[in-house]
């Protein structure tokens, strides 16, 4: 295992910049997830670490060795591809040990690794089959096995679950997390799925248009997003953003007046410099007022008209209007709201975030200034 360091890494195709001045330290044994919408440069970044794309500018180090000019077959990395890229003419067994053999492992090591990996990924009964005779989920496991069998410095994952159905994806996500902890692998994982990012990453790197928007633990990013992009990209359903006027010490929209002083650590002085502000409330932080226990930090949005109820079993998502925008709340099964009913929703003001209307950046809390 090794650490991976990216220093001022740039990638462009002709004049088109794909990755802009990216800096990232992946610690030994750390699982880092690159997440962002398609075209944000996350896959390109991964492929630069793998050596499948050249680096326009900057340095990449694996284990304190700069590997910019090292071809992929000399980097000692393992990678799981989105389309698996299994060798079609080789059996599952041959696919799994192919890289291991090349690295010069002796027969005993190969045998043990194969037994380990096929046991762990439940591939025992398929070892003699060809990839064409496997289902998508089985192929995915073989691709994982081929990477895990290697004793690589870094393990790279390029959207490995995106071709699986929802149930299998969930299962494999859990498996990957388990295996990574078991082997203490240094791993970089690329996905566009924010749930994968949240559940797998020790740290998450949110990217947009070739730029890193935020790096942090999943909970940091969920609770303290640096801007509205990160705030709405991470978390499902997306965070509600409502524009509010600032009147004295109150944030005003519709008929609601939120006491700004009660919002966690807000710096009233810097707030007064603005006319308006974006109020960010995650759907998860709404509560049905009839069920919430009283607290003086709760704000109640009363007389809310429910436009739609989506029942998800334990949860239900409520669609309504807030500040003229569509907003969502996630309530649990204790709540019995119905479409077109008028209800009250409560929010813990400590959970409310404020963003600058023009820069879209989060307004710094007083505690952090």
Partner 1 sequence: MSSVLIKNESRLGLKLVAPAVGIIGLLVIYPILFNLYLSFFDVQLNGNKTFVGLDNYTQLLGNPRYYHSVGVSVIYLIGTVIGTTVLGLAAAILMNQTFRFRNLARGLILLPYFAPVISVVFGWQFIFDPVNGIYNHVVVDVLNLTNERENLIGNPDSALFVVILFDIWKHFPIAYLLFLAKLQSVPKDLYEAAAIDGQNPWGRFWHVTLPELKFVIATVVLLRVIWNLNRFEDVYLLAPNVETLPIFTYYQAFAGIVDQGAAAAISVIQLLVLVGLIWLYVRKVLKW
Question: What residues make contact with partner 1 under the rule CB under 8 A?
Answer: 50-52, 71-74, 76-79, 81, 83, 85-89, 98-99, 102-103, 146, 150
- Among residues 40 and 154, whose Cβ is nearest to partner 1? 154
Residue with tokens 């006319």: 275
Q: How far is the CB of 83 from partner 1 (least distance, A)?
A: 6
Q: How far is the CB of 216 from partner 1 (least distance, A)?
A: 29
203-208/31-35 β-pairing: parallel
| Six-digit token string for 216 | 């942090």
- Among residues 13 and 87, whose Cβ is nearest to partner 1? 87
Q: What is the DSSP string of 173-194?
A: HHHHHHHHHHHT--EEEEES-H
Handedness of CA 72, 88, 144, 106 (dihedral sign): negative
* φ and ψ at residue 10, rounded to 5 degrees: -125, 145
Residue with tokens 């890229």: 85
Q: How far is the CB of 186 from partner 1 (least distance, A)?
A: 15
Q: How far is the CB of 80 from partner 1 (least distance, A)?
A: 9
- Among residues 152 and 345, whose Cβ is nearest to partner 1? 152
- Among residues 85 and 309, whose Cβ is nearest to partner 1? 85
Q: What is the DSSP string of 73-97?
A: GGS-EEEE-TT----TTS-HHHHHH
* φ and ψ at residue 281, rounded to 5 degrees: -130, 120
**Which secondary-structure segment (H or E) carries 109?**
helix 107-120
Q: How far is the CB of 86 from partner 1 (least distance, A)?
A: 8
Residue with tokens 């790096």: 215
Angstrom distance (rounded) from CA 196 to CA 198:
6
Q: How far is the CB of 143 from partner 1 (least distance, A)?
A: 9
Angstrom distance (rounded) from CA 190 to CA 205:
10
- Among residues 150 and 173, whose Cβ is nearest to partner 1? 150
- Among residues 82 and 199, whose Cβ is nearest to partner 1? 82
| Nearest of 271, 260, 267, 328 to residue 297 by alpha carbon | 260
Angstrom distance (rounded) from CA 239 to CA 222:
10
Angstrom distance (rounded) from CA 350 to CA 265:
8
Angstrom distance (rounded) from CA 124 to CA 227:
47
- Start-end of H helices in 234-347: 268-271
- Among residues 73 and 171, whose Cβ is nearest to partner 1? 73
Q: How far is the CB of 103 from partner 1 (least distance, A)?
A: 6
- Among residues 99 and 216, whose Cβ is nearest to partner 1? 99
CB 331 within 8 A of CB 325: no
- Among residues 62 and 337, whose Cβ is nearest to partner 1? 62
Q: How far is the CB of 211 from partner 1 (least distance, A)?
A: 26
Q: How far is the CB of 140 from partner 1 (least distance, A)?
A: 14
């Amino acid at each position: 295992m090794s650490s991976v360091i990216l220093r001022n890494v740039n990638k462009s195709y002709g004049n088109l910049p794909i990755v802009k001045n990216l800096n990232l330290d992946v610690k030994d044994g750390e699982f880092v997830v690159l997440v962002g919408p398609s075209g944000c440069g996350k896959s390109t970044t991964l492929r630069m670490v793998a050596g499948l794309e050249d680096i326009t500018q900057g340095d990449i180090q694996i284990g304190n060795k700069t590997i910019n000019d090292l071809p992929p077959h000399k980097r000692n990395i393992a990678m799981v591809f989105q389309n698996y890229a299994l060798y079609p003419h080789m059996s599952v067994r041959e696919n799994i040990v192919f890289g291991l053999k090349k690295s010069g492992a002796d027969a005993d090591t190969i045998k043990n690794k194969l037994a380990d990996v096929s046991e762990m990924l439940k591939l025992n009964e398929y070892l003699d089959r060809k990839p064409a005779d496997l289902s998508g989920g089985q192929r995915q496991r073989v691709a994982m096995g081929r990477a895990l069998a290697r004793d690589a410095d870094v393990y790279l994952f390029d959207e490995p679950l995106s071709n699986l159905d929802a149930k299998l994806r969930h299962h494999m996500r859990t498996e990957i997390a388990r295996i990574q902890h078991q082997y203490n692998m240094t791993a970089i994982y690329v996905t566009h799925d924010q749930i994968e990012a949240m559940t797998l990453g020790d740290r998450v790197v949110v990217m947009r248009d070739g730029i890193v928007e935020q790096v942090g633990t999943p909970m940091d990013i969920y609770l303290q997003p640096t801007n509205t992009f990160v705030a709405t990209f991470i978390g499902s359903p997306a965070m509600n953003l409502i524009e509010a006027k600032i009147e004295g010490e109150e944030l005003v929209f519709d008929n609601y007046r939120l006491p700004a002083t009660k919002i966690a650590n807000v710096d009233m002085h810097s707030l007064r410099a603005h006319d308006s502000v974006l109020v960010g409330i995650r759907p998860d932080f709404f509560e049905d007022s009839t069920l919430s226990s009283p607290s003086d930090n709760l704000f109640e949005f009363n007389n809310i008209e429910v436009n739609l109820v989506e029942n998800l079993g334990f949860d239900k998502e409520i669609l309504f209007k807030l500040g003229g925008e569509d907003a969502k709340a996630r309530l649990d099964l204790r709540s019995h709201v119905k479409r077109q009913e008028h209800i009250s929703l409560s929010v813990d003001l400590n959970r409310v975030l404020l963003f600058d209307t023009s820069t879209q950046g989060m307004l710094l809390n007083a505690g952090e200034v």
